[in-house]
Every structure is written in structure tokens, then in C-alpha cells.
Amino acid sequence: MSFVRFASIVPDIATRAIDHAFDYLVPERLERSCTVGATVLVTFSHRDVVGYVIDLKDEPSQGLAPERVLPVRRVLAESAFDEHSACVAQWISREYACTLPDAIRPFLAPGQTMRVRRKKEGDPWQLVVERSGPVDERWVTLTPAARDFKPRPHASRQRLVLAALRDGAQRMAELSATLPGSAGTVSTLAKRGVVRVEARRRVRGGDVTRLSSAKAKRPRQLTADQEGAIEAIRAARCRGHGEVVLVDGVTGSGKTEVYLSAIEESLSDGKGAIVLVPEISLTAQTVGRFRSRFGDDVAILHSRLSSGERFDQWDLVREGHARVVVGARSALFAPLSTLGLIIIDEEHEGSYKQDCAPRYHAREVAARLAQERGCALVLGSATPSLESLERCGQGSWGGSNWVHVSMPRRVGTARLPEIRVVDMTRQFAAGGRSVFSRPLAEALEGMAARQEKAVLLLNRRGFANFLMCRECGAVPECPHCSCALTYHERTHALMCHSCGRSWPVRAYPDPATRCPNCKSRYMGAYGVGTQRVEDELKGLLGDSAEVIRMDADSTKGKGTHQRLLERFDGASCAVLLGTQMIAKGLDFPEVTLVGVINADTTLKLPDFRAAERTYDLLEQVAGRAGRGERAGEVIIQTYWAGHPAIQAVLKHERDVFLGPELRERREGSYPPFGRLANITLWGLSAEAVRCGSSSVAAIVREKVGSSRGWEVLGPADCLKARVKDRVRRHVMVKAPVNASVGELLAHSVREAAIPRGVSVAIDVDAYDLM
């Protein structure tokens, strides 16, 4: 006999006013399909809405009469997540001050969007479904009856089809392409039982890289450092309490082999693993290594896949056909129910922080997910974040034990590269005007003469930072954003890197390029971008080395990351020039030289993390050199040679940077000694944004009161005070490390008087303060 059940359902409505789930009756006809994680259609406030089931129970919430509970109308999609994921989603909503639907969406099947909305003004509300699903292809195979079948003398096409199928089954599409008109012949043969036509699932998104460095050769023997790290991970995994292991290993110390060995043990115990990498450019190489060890047990999830490809890879995981998930930040939400291990490589990277709702940090969500599922979390980096180091120093955080494992030596005979810091002020005083200092130019020429490879880092794309009038000093700015336009010589365009708009200009010094202020034709290009460095590099090296540029402009197309890296891998002598996407994770043993064009690019940003980001970037890119048998050399060009971050890289001593940095952070109550949240408001009306930000700040101050460790700063204009014609202001909040910042700010924004037309974003543990 069936019993009455009730479901807790989160309606997918974009409002902060709804901060909890609602009870609905599960009709008997839907009992089997209406499970936790299912997408359903329900009635809410007298209209149909899409909702997500996060819990099932035998009775409705206290005080709610069962006969007054509305029933679930339909089940729209089968379960995409389980009870553990539902708990994590609710935690994300509280911790990061986002709505429950926003927190649930990352767990849903990719490419499946369902909304109830009006298609046209005045039409009734309709369910609109945008769905990517499985793709079945028709395959043709011979049956046993084909042995005795003899086509009629004039049935030449039948003979051709049978001959083609004797080498194995073929897709119907391929057969029709090679033998036009064969579809009718196949139908005739199928009716006679000679061939069989069947639908087979086509799995998209499983491309394999051709990078030679993407092969994970099993070492004959692990180093003592690797053995120690694997043992620490094994112990954490066996205890099953969501423990965190920080693998602090220098570049080239063999952290990837530690990950592979730990995953092998997890798979042998019947549990899967999730591996996160910070850059899509690293996915191809990482997937290649993992597939060389685990074969088809690996699924890929990242944003450069099409919606259909993401769905197929996601579905492989849900169906249990893939137990190792590799990808960027969003791969953390893969439906891997038997989870034994989560690995976050290069855990210090800021790309693990989501910049739109839900604004979560993958490290924190992974730690919560590990607790929920009783698995281990492994954080790996040559430059661990200050937050992770501080938590390991305390021994525990958020209810989990944090263990620090050091790997200070490279594998085999490889040694850390020799670092040289070039003071560009002296180069300028000596008459140097090139983007390359004399030491770097000589090193590049020597690399080309020896037919080796080099990596050049410049964390700035475009040809020049800006154009400036030589007569009045005016700089062309974006009319929609408060920032200067970047000059791109390849397209002869001025581009805004905030809103993406561009304006064509004639190539300087054509007189048609005039100052927007005084109409002077004397416009000069100032600053250095990757396009300009590429031109000067080709002039320096000529045809002796291939130059491959890798930045946001050159990697816009699908698969371009992989193709550029394959070009670099296959070249006999080449220079890989790029932005920070080339600074980490890449393993090319032939690279003997690394050059940093300007180490000060990130160092002088108005951000308390600027020094940490600079140290991380320099240490990571330096680690690309000397990973093979030949020694490596690193040349860093800077105008601030004495800065602790640069000196720490020069001396291979992290404490040179950590000491002064931690003292400054502690004095200012910045992370890791406090939490920092940023509330941003924007809109077309400057007055409305000003009123809304003032209201939010006043309510936050009222709620905080005189509580120790809290501080409210602002409201004030954002550094980017206008983007896409929207005026932007923000309120910053400092809080103690154990404070429930998200819940307080969510309530404050809900109570604030936000004028119509003003949008609000709450960013807890903010990384972008501009």
C-alpha cells in the first residue's frame, strides 16, 4: 500500500525574498520519479513555476495542514543530485548570500534550462524548455545470415554495402557518405535479416590531445617525498572525516604522480575522484595524463565544451561509466555519488573564485563537500594560498583537520632553475629602449642557437596599454566604461576590456587617427602588450624560432588552447609568449628559458593581494624552466627589484615574502586573519545607486553595531566606477574569520531600500575589489 509523501521544493524564482523551500504533496503516480534532485512543475502564488526537490518526508512542516498542501504537477527532469549535494547547495546559499535556486543550478544537468514565462505579451504562461540530451546514431552491422546471403546479379549496391560492412560495423552517416544512396539498400537488407540497424549513444566532448607531454609514464620508483604525500592522503581518505591534505611541493616535484597514485587507490576501493585545474588551457594536458592511466574512466567538464558535449560527459558520470572527473571549477558539481577523493591543483589560483552568482570559492565548497561525503580533499600547489597555510598552522578549520605535507625537491636529476632579476631602471639609464633587456635578448638568442624552447610571460594583451595625445595628453576612453581603451595593432582597433566593445582606427601614424580632445594627429602608443612583444620577438629571432602567442585574443575559438600547445610541443625550437594562462601547470621538458617581460604588472594594482599574486605568478612561471635533463634559466625584468615578492623568487625562499606580508595582513585584519566581503550596486541612475548603497551601508552598520572584529567601509565609487553605462558603487565589510558573513549581509540587503533599476551583488570572501 502506498503512503503519502511530501517534498520540500525550491521554486526557481529570482528574488531574495524567498529564502527557503516549500512543501508539496507527491501524488501516487509520481512517487517513483519525484525524488531528491528532480526538476518539477508546481503551482506557486497562483501560477506554474519550475522547482527543485531537495528533500522528501512523510509529513509536512509543523503547523501546515496536509489537506492544504498543493500537489506536484509534473516531473520535468529526473534526479540530477542527491541528498548530500542538496545539503551543500543550502550551505552555499547561506555562506555566499545567494538565492537557493542560484545555489542549486550548478548541480543540474548541463544544457537543460526550464522556465515558465510569457512567450509574447498577453499570452498565457508557458513552460519553455531548452534542453541538450543524448544523441543516438544509427550503426549498421552484418548478421549471421549474411554468410549465406547472395545478392542478385544486378544488385551491385548490395554487394558494395556488404563488402564495406565485412571490415566491421559502420555509422549509417559514414556509409551514406562513401556509398551515396545506400540508405535504401540498408533498409532492404535489414528486412531480409542480412544486416542489423541499431541506435548507439554517441558521447561528445571526449577529444584526446596529441601533446607528447600528456602521457603519464609510471615511474620505476616514487621519491620519499611522494611516498609521504600518498601516505598522508591514504590516511585521510581511510578516516573518512572530510580531512584536508595540503601538498606543498615545488614545481617539478611530482605532485601529478601523487594525484594519480591516490586516485588509483580510491578507484580500487570502489570510489571515484574529482580533479580541478585552474585554467582551461591546462585541461588537455591534464586529461591526457589521466586518460593514459585510467582510460575511458575519465570524463571532462569545462566551459569551452558545447552544451551537448557537457551533457554527455556529465551523463557518463551520473550513469557510473566514468569515475574520474577532470575539469575547471564547475567540475566540482559532477554527480559522482561514490566520491572518495577531491583534488584541487594549483589551489592558490584566484580563478577558483566564481565571479557571478553563486559567488563561491571552489576550495571552500570542496571542503564542505568532503565533509558531507566523508572523503578526503587534496590541495596541491608550489605556492599555497595564505589561507591554506594558516589553516594548516592551526591544525583544523571548519570542523576538518588540515595536514601540511612538504615536497621540497624536484624528481630525478632536475633542479630548480637559476633566477636572474634585471633592474630595468638601470637598463633605461644605459640607453636601453627595447622591451627586452640586454640579458634577456642574449638569452633568447642563445636559446635559438641551441634549438631549445622558451616561455615568455607578459600579463597584458593587446599591442599597447593606451594611445595618448602627445600635445594635450588626452587618452581615448570607452564612452560606456570608466577605463582607457587598449590599442590592438592586428585589428587596428581600440578595445575596451571591460565591456568588449571596439572602435576601428587607422594604423598610427596615419593622420586620420586624431586626438578626441584637441584633434591633434600626434597620437602615441604607450605601454607594452603581447602583440607588440610578438613583433619585437620576431624581429630579434627571425626564422630561427617559431613564435606562438597565447592570450585571450588568440584563444577565443574552441580548441585553440590545445592547438597552440600542440604547435609548441611539436616545434623543434619555439617561444611560447602569453599571459598568465601559460604560467602554471604546463610541463614541457625542452623549455630551458623563462622570461618575464614586466614583473610589476600585477604588483602595483590597488589590491591587498597584489604582492601575493605577483609572488605566485613569478614562482609558477619560473617553474616551467629546467624540468628536463637540461638546466633552466629564468630572467625577471622589473622596476622594483627590491620588493620582497621578487626577492623571495630570486632566493627560492618563501619566508622572505611571507614574513612582511603576514604582518601587514594581520595589522589590517585582512585574510587569512579576517574575512572580506564586497557589496556592489549598479544602475543607470547615479542618484539611485547612491541612495541604495547608503541604505545598505546603514543597515549593515546597524546590525554589526560595536561587535569586535567588524568594520564597514564605504559606500564609495568602485575603481571601475562605470561599466557598460552602469554607475557602480560598493560597500566593503571586514569580519572575524569565524563570522557568518553571508547570512548577515543577505538579511541586510533584503531589508535595505534598493531603488527600482538598481542591481545588487554580494561577494563573500571577495577576490575582485575593482
Report pLDDT for 527: 58
Q: What is the DSSP letter of 233?
A: H
Residue 509: predicted pLDDT:
41
Does some domain include residue 60?
yes
Q: 21 with 154, same domain? A: no
pLDDT of residue 499: 75
DSSP 767: S
Q: CB 752: neighbour CB atoms within 10 A?
A: 20
Separation CA 570–CA 581 (nearest Å)? 19
Give the residue from 667, 691, 718 where a domain finishes: 667
Residues of the chain with pLDDT under 50: 1-2, 461-464, 507-512
DSSP 70: P
Measured between alpha carbons, how far is 562 from 572 in angstroms, rounded to an integer? 18
The distance between the two most distant Cα atoms of the chain, rounded to a whole number of Å, is: 98
Residue 428 sits in the same domain as residue 576? yes
Q: What are the Cα distances from residue 356, in Å, to 222, 510, 748, 768?
A: 41, 42, 20, 11
Q: Give the number of domains in the chain.
A: 6
Confirm if 749 and 16 have CB atoms less than 8 A apart: yes
CATH number at residue 16: 3.40.1440.60
DSSP assignment of 611-648, as one string?
A: HHHHHHHHHHHHTTSS-SSS--EEEEEES-TT-HHHHH
**Residues 92 and 31 both lie in one domain:** yes
What cell numbers appear for 41 in the block?
512543475
Identify the pLDDT of residue 388: 95
In sequence order, which ranges of 272-347 are alpha helices (DSSP H)?
Answer: 283-294, 307-318
**Residue 542, phi then psi, degrees to nearest 5:** 60, -135
Distance CA 452, CA 446 (A): 9
DSSP string, 421-437: EEEHHHHHHTT--SSS-
Residue 207 falls inside a structural domain = no
Q: Which grid coordinates belong to 46?
A: 497562483
Shared domain check, 443 and 376? no
Residue 208: inside a domain, yes or no?
A: no
C-alpha distance from residue 160 to each of 169, 196, 550 (Å): 14, 16, 48
Return the C-alpha torsion angle 339, 341, 342, 345, nearest 10: -150
Residue 210 lies in a domain: no
Tell whether 770 is covered by a domain. Answer: no
Q: Is 429 part of any domain?
A: yes
Residue-level pLDDT at 203: 67
Residue 289 sits at the vertex; the CA angle it makes with 284 and 290, to the nearest 5 degrees, is: 100
Predicted confidence at residue 491, as pLDDT, reads: 67
Q: Report yes or no on 600 lying in a domain.
A: yes
In this prediction, residue 517 carries a pLDDT of: 67
Any residues with CB less than 8 A from the CB of 747 and at least 6 apart, and which? Answer: 703
- Determine phi and psi for 584, rounding to 5 degrees: -145, 155
| Pair 634, 487 in one domain | no
Looking up cell 632536475 gives: 414
Task: 423-428: list long-range contacts, CB under 8 Å, 24+ apart.
Answer: 423/638, 423/639, 423/641, 424/598, 424/637, 424/638, 424/639, 425/639, 427/637
Residue 13 phi, psi (nearest 5): -125, 130
| Residue 554 domain flag | yes
User: H or E element: which one contains 257?
Assistant: helix 255-268
Domain shared by 483 and 535, yes or no: no
At 1 the pLDDT is: 38
Question: Do both 513 and 550 map to the same domain?
Answer: no
Residue 173 belongs to what domain range?
Answer: 135-202
- Give tens-digit pLDDT for 198-250: 877 766 655 555 555 555 578 788 999 999 999 999 999 999 999 999 999 98
- In 10 A of CB 225, how many CB atoms? 22
The side-by-side arrangement of strands in the sheet containing 486-488 is: 486-488, 493-495, 502-504
Residues 385/665, Cβ–Cβ less than 8 Å: no
**Contact predicate 132/311, CB 8 Å:** yes
Q: What is the structure's pLDDT at 769?
A: 83
Give the three-class secondary structure for 546. strand
Assess contact for 370 and 333: CB atoms under 8 A: no
CATH number at residue 450: 3.40.50.300
| Residues in a beta bridge with 621 | none
Last residue of one domain, picked from the residues 382, 407, 432:
407
Q: Do 21 and 170 have their domain in common? A: no
> Are 268 and 382 found together in one domain?
yes
496 & 515 share domain: yes
Q: What's the CATH code of the domain at 727?
A: 3.30.70.600
Domain boundary among 177, 202, 227: 202
Q: What is the signed CA dihedral for 424, 428, 434, 435, rounded to 10 degrees?
A: 20
What pLDDT score does 512 carry? Answer: 45
The predicted pLDDT at position 513 comes to 60
Query: What single string gives the DSSP state of each residue in 552-601?
Result: TTTT-STTHHHHHHHHHHH-SSEEEEESGGGSSS---TTEEEEEES-TTT
My answer on whether 682 and 653 are in the same domain is no
For residues 647 and 728, membership in a common domain is answered with no
